[in-house]
């Protein structure tokens, strides 16, 4: 098999594995909506997430920053747009992964680099830096996937797919509600560990990661040039953190947000503050068992007359949905 063929196969396996991990983790929280709502967000153009001949490619760097939350080094992937220059100032999108993921998931199976390269080349997106961190701020090993998930032994990169392929994260293999994994607590306790680790990332993001990025890259360091978005658990983080930090972010997006999302009334407890956002995006697939979470946020925002974008994708809790969301969301930023 050629190197290109191997890379394509590897990306496909990672995409399936990441989606299965998230789906297995949240299977206990609900079934897809019935009847299925009509999709309101069109599919992005064919090839939007693929490398194209003749389109300048940005660069993705791996960095480590000091965390006062974990008292250690923490990783992030940083996308620099084509032609990045220290003589220019760039806006920044902080883009968060889901449960079982890490700093490699958006630049890998999420194809974030190719999506941004194509949008920028077509003049549909402003050249921006995209920071894709590990959003699990904890030294505690994950027991959610039988100890093989973020930080767990034998898991390789923190937050990577469990060894053995997609089936390793399925119900019955350490997923929530599957009982006790090898050496791990019951599913409910394991999920509580994850919710805490992902919630603690708020302090790390605001206090450690953003200052690191703004001291190491040529960026516009004000709220109108910062965006925050994510998928699944990262979507919940983005809504929770973004609405809690409108002095830091002007653009916020939640893609298929997970049960870590605050209850709608708590999330939108101060409508006047939420109205300060330049863009508030909420979306979910019409076959997603977590659909009710995003729909509930939308309903609360509508009831409080908070301007926002509410979109229904065609699909389930999978990367094709999230890549579609990234395509449209990033095209709306920083204009």
Q: Give pLDDT, residue 244.
A: 98
Residue numbers in the chain where pLDDT is lower than 70: 1-29, 145-187
pLDDT, tens only, 3-17: 333 233 344 444 444
Per-residue pLDDT at 21: 54
Domain boundaries, given as residue ranges, for the chain: 3-331
Contacts of 24 (CB under 8 A, 6+ apart): 169, 170, 171, 173, 175, 176
pTM for the full predicted model: 0.84
Structure tokens given for 60: 């993705």
Mapping DSSP onto H, E and C, the string for the chain reads CCHHHHHHHHHHHHHHHHHHHHHHHCHHHCCCCCCCCCCCCCCCCCCCCCCCCCCCCCEEEEEEEEECCCCEEEEEEEEECCCCCCCCCECEEEEECCCCCCCCCCCCCCCHHHHHHHHHHCCCCCCCEEEEECCCCCCCCCCCCCCCCCCCCCCCCCCCCCCCCHHHHCCCCCCCCCCCCCCCCCHHHHHHHHHHHHHCHHHHHHHHHHHHHHHHCCECCCHHHEEEEEECHHHHHHHHHHHHCCCCCCEEEEECCCCCCCCHHHHCCCHHHHCCCCEEEEEEECCCCCHHHHHHHHHHHHHCCCCCEEEEECCCCCHHHHHHHHHHHHHCCCC
**What pLDDT is recorded for position 19?**
55
What is residue 30's predicted lDDT score, i.e. its pLDDT? 77
Q: What is the pLDDT at residue 24?
A: 56
Q: What's the confidence (pLDDT) of residue 142?
A: 82
| Top-tier CATH class for 3-331 | alpha beta
pLDDT given at position 22: 59
């Amino acid at each position: 098999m050629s190197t290109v063929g191997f890379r394509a196969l590897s990306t496909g396996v990672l995409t399936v594995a990441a989606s299965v991990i998230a789906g297995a983790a949240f299977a206990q929280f609900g079934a897809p909506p019935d009847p299925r709502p009509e999709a309101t967000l069109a599919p992005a153009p064919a090839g939007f997430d693929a490398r194209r001949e003749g389109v300048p490619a940005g660069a993705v760097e791996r960095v480590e920053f000091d965390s006062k939350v974990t008292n250690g080094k923490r990783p992030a992937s940083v996308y620099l747009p084509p032609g990045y220059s220290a003589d220019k100032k760039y806006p920044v999108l902080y883009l968060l992964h889901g449960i079982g993921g890490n700093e490699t998931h958006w630049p890998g199976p999420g194809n974030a680099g190719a999506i941004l390269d194509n949008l920028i080349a077509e003049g549909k997106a402003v050249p921006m830096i995209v920071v894709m961190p590990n959003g699990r701020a904890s030294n505690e090993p994950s027991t959610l996937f039988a100890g093989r998930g973020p930080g767990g032994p034998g898991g390789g990169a923190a937050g990577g797919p469990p060894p053995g392929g997609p089936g390793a994260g399925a119900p019955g293999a350490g997923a929530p509600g599957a009982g006790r994994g090898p050496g791990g607590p019951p599913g409910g306790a394991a999920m509580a560990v994850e919710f805490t680790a992902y919630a603690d990332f708020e302090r790390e993001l605001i206090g450690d990661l953003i200052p690191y990025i703004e001291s190491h890259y040529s960026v516009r360091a004000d709220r109108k040039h910062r965006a925050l978005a994510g998928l699944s658990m990262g979507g919940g983080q983005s809504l929770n953190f973004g609405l809690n930090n409108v002095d830091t972010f002007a653009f916020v997006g939640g893609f298929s947000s997970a049960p870590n999302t605050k209850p709608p009334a708590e999330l939108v407890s101060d409508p006047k503050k939420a109205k300060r956002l330049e863009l508030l995006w909420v979306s979910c697939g019409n076959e997603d068992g977590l659909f009710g979470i995003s729909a509930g946020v939308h309903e609360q925002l509508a009831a409080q007359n908070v301007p926002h974008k509410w979109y229904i994708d065609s699909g389930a809790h999978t990367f094709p949905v999230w890549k579609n969301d990234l395509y449209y969301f990033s095209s709306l930023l920083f204009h």
